[in-house]
Amino acid sequence: MRVLVFLLCFYSLHFLGQNNCAHPILEKNGDMIKNVKSDKNFILISIGNQKLYHILNGVIISTYEISSSEYGIGNNQGSNKTPIGLHRIRKKFGKNTPENGKMIGRIYTGKIAKIYSDLTRSKTDDVTSRILWLEGLEKGKNRGDGIDSFKRYIYIHGTSEEGRIGIPSSHGCIRMKNKDIINLYKKLEVGTLVLILEN
């Protein structure tokens, strides 16, 4: 219950700018939030803020900037949009991949990506350093035929376009700076819950 109350207050304060734990939008999303209340270690992603929050025992222990889809939020196969709702980490890849190492098909290619610190777009849309492959847990929303996050290959991963972090620029995945995803990867296990919210 303590974690649930924290989540409601956190969502209200940081995403709505209100100190009101009984706000209607919180009640509307109550069932979804209850799914993570008993998890001591989980991830909360705000598309609106372009931030990822690592929460442990009801306390935000780390905050990272991210980049979600430049096409907005959505769940349809082929939409290139970022899905919202409750997910979990289904698989992890890249434990021994060097920082900035290029990965294709979740396998290190042996090549190091050129990292752009400005707004340059990579011609190859590189996936680098680490991958956390997400599985949707909400049937009809991010799980099932034509809308399945896992089958859409929705990852949290490193990118060569570090200068675009904080700006929606991906093709559906959650991008992070390479040092950040390597740091986060060490702290999370397969099965960790990930709640992606629009606001």
pLDDT higher than 90, residue 22: no
Domain assignment present for 38: no
Does residue 111 contact residue 97 with C-beta atoms inside 8 Å?
A: no
In this structure, what CATH number is given to the domain that contains residue 178? 2.40.440
**Cβ contact 142:136 at 8 Å:** yes
pLDDT of residue 31: 57
pLDDT, one tens digit per residue, over 86-116 is: 999 999 999 999 999 999 999 999 999 999 9
Question: Is the whole model's pTM more than 0.95, yes or no?
Answer: no
Residue 158 lies in a domain: yes
**Over residues 178-184, mean pLDDT:** 98
The total of structural domains in the chain comes to: 1
Confidence of residue 185 (pLDDT cuts 50, 70, 90): very high
What is the rounded distance in angstroms from the CA atom of residue 21 to the CA atom of residue 19?
A: 7
pLDDT digits (tens, 9 = 90+) for 122-162: 888 899 999 999 999 999 999 999 999 999 999 999 999 99
Residue at 87 is within a domain: yes
Residue 48 belongs to some domain of the structure:
no
Alpha carbons 147 and 154: distance in angstroms, whole number: 11
What is the domain extent for residue 164? 68-190
**CA 169 to CA 175: how far, in whole Å?**
9
Nearest alpha-carbon partner for 49 in 17, 71, 75, 87: 17
Exposed/middle/buried for 63, CB within 10 Å: 0-12, 13-18, 19+? Answer: middle
